[in-house]
Amino acid sequence: MFSFLRRKKEEVNSPLWLKCEKCKSLLFKGELEKNMWVCPKCSYHFKISVKERLYHLFDNHEYELLDENLVSVDPLNFVDTKPYKQRLEEAKKKTSFNEAIINAVGYINGNKVYLSCFNFDFMGGSMGSVVGEKLTRNIERAAKDKIPFICICASGGARMQEGMLSLMQMAKVSAALTKLEDAQTPYIAVLTHPTMGGVSASIAFLGDVILAEPGALIGFAGPRVIEQTIRQKLPEGFQTAEFLLKHGLIDEVVDRRHLKETLTKYIENLKYSL
């Protein structure tokens, strides 16, 4: 699923070494890990796990997970080449997470935040009932406590296996965000590779501030669908974070190594302070 969204499999010749996608340098994995999976030579952003991302983001690497008790059911009894239930089980095993998003609360340079983070490894970060409900609950908390909300996006879109229930989550989370308006509380969206479809057209683009990681693919329609529709090749760099910045669609492209400091500046300037 969403194979076009996945970056080419890293050519792993050794468990210790990795070749950079962009500059082709041979990189020591341990060093990459310390560098938040950003190539020290050319700043290419490799995929980073949710755990590592949160580890780097929160003060003292501490945070509390919320809503872990929400789990997906199979409301449509959906079967394609595999039953949906089996896909869920496999995703759980593969990621050791129980859904495609986690909710957390913690501090970023002393500022309390409610944070949701998509997990692309879990069924392409697709948004079904649980993802929609978890986002809604975290937004509601942020609104109630007047604490900034942050969402780190990475998703292929709505979860097809839950049909229209998934599509309606777009409306649900968008409606939930209106509560932050009443609470005079900011929402910062961080778009990472890839952010597409129904997630892009709801939670992702409703950020009061929208940040994106370098090189991330971000858009409504996938590049392949667009190419098939208009029957022409897409320009180089189309739908990348840099392309979006140039066209006035996002606020800033932020190197992952500076994300924490950048978020801090926005939070401290915008949060409810009384």
Q: Which residues are at the interface with other proteins (CB under 8 A)?
A: 1-2, 69-73, 75-76, 78-81, 129-130, 132-133, 136, 158-172, 174-178, 197-198, 200-206, 218-222, 225-226, 229-230, 234-235, 238-239, 244, 247, 249
CB of 64 to other proteins, least distance (A): 18
Residues forming a β-bridge with 263: none
Token pair recorded at residue 271: 């949060």
Q: Which window, 17-25, 61-69, 187-195, 227-235, contacts Zn ion (CB under 5 A)?
A: 17-25
Q: Where are the strands (E) in 132-234, listed by range?
A: 149-155, 187-196, 209-212, 218-219
DSSP, collapsed to helix, strand or coil, labels residue 64 as strand
Q: Pick the closer one to other proteins by CB: 12 or 175.
A: 175
In angstroms, the CA 22 to CA 24 distance is: 6
By a kind-dependent CB cut-off of 5 to 8 A, residue 105 interacts, out of other proteins, Zn ion, none, with none
CA 6 to chain CA centroid, nearest Å: 14
CA 265 to chain CA centroid, nearest Å: 20
By a kind-dependent CB cut-off of 5 to 8 A, residue 239 interacts, out of Zn ion, other proteins, none, with other proteins
By a kind-dependent CB cut-off of 5 to 8 A, residue 249 interacts, out of other proteins, Zn ion, none, with other proteins
Answer whether 85's CB lies under 8 Å from 78's CB.
no
Residue 41 binds Zn ion (CB under 5 A): yes
CB of 229 to other proteins, least distance (A): 5
Residue 18 binds Zn ion (CB under 5 A): no
Half-sphere exposure of 120 (CA within 13 A, CB side): 22
By a kind-dependent CB cut-off of 5 to 8 A, residue 22 interacts, out of Zn ion, other proteins, none, with Zn ion
CB of 106 to other proteins, least distance (A): 23
In angstroms, the CA 54 to CA 70 distance is: 20
Q: Pick the closer one to Zn ion by CB: 129 or 240.
A: 240
Residue 39 binds Zn ion (CB under 5 A): yes
In angstroms, the CA 88 to CA 11 distance is: 28
CB of 77 to other proteins, least distance (A): 8
What separation in angstroms does the CA of 69 have from each of 35, 196, 235, 264? 33, 27, 44, 30
Answer whether 226's CB lies under 8 Å from 210's CB.
no
By a kind-dependent CB cut-off of 5 to 8 A, residue 86 interacts, out of other proteins, Zn ion, none, with none
Enumerate residues 42-71 that contact Zn ion by CB under 5 A. Answer: 42, 44
